[in-house]
Amino acid sequence: MVDMRMLAGRTVLFTNLTAFIAGFAMYSSFILVPTFVETPRRLAPSVARLVDYGFGASATRAGLYLTPGALLMLLAGPAAGRLGRRFGSKWPLAVGMVFIAVGVSGLALFNDRPWEIVVAMGLLSPGVALAFAAMATLITQEVRPSETGVANAVNTVLRTVGGVVGAQVGATILVVHRIAGTQVPARSGFTSAFTLFGAAALAGAVAAVLVTPSVRRARLVTADGD
């Protein structure tokens, strides 16, 4: 069902690698941020130790932390198309991954105040829109018209798999970093997770730069589909 030679091409290969990394860093951060902001700063159960992070936000307020970034995504998506037409689609992909890296790293370094979370997500979310829009363009331009659906589906699956892996890695880090005698994650767990995801996103930016789109193969397709 899937032509593996199509997936082995340099453009498709590195775009899919970037997709996996983007899912790893992005989906995981979207899961950890609500957990972080919903944690109340109170005495943890069974120990007289103050939880030194979180804002005690409700589920609704936690969503508001993500809202500005989500609105910026509406602008970043079309911008990816304009940048791609002028400079090539690998560059909005790389820039998007850098935005994700900066945003996630910002969550690791600056998380004492609500506005710091909002600013970090305001960088991460548009980066996601830039990267995802550029991925679809790169894949579509590289493969034959008959392969477009399959190639983009594989790219989407890899993003999802990256998100699943990242979420499990993030959860494992939080389990390892707990406040002694409790089930409450320590601040160091979130810091370690965000640092890891930021480094992964930066590696994704490098992978994006290595994408080298060729002349569209669709132009070479003959009438008999060879």
80: tokens are: 């990816």
| pTM as predicted | 0.86
Predicted pLDDT of residue 226: 44
Q: What are the chain's domains?
A: 8-214 (1.20.1250.20)
Tell me the average confidence (pLDDT) per consecutive run of 10 residues in the chain, 226 residues long.
70 89 88 90 61 87 91 88 86 94 94 94 93 89 82 89 92 89 86 94 92 55 39
Q: How many angstroms separate the Cα of 44 from the Cα of each of 31, 53, 186, 187?
A: 22, 12, 10, 13
From the centroid of its chain, how far is CA 208?
A: 13
Q: Give the 3-state secondary structure of 59-111.
A: HHHHHHHHHHHHHHHHHHHHHHHHHHHHHCCHHHHHHHHHHHHHHHHHHHHCC
Torsion sign across C-alpha atoms 128, 129, 132, 134: negative
Q: How many angstroms separate the Cα of 163 from the Cα of each of 23, 31, 41, 204?
A: 4, 10, 29, 14
Residue type, 50: L
Residue 68 gets which letter from DSSP? H
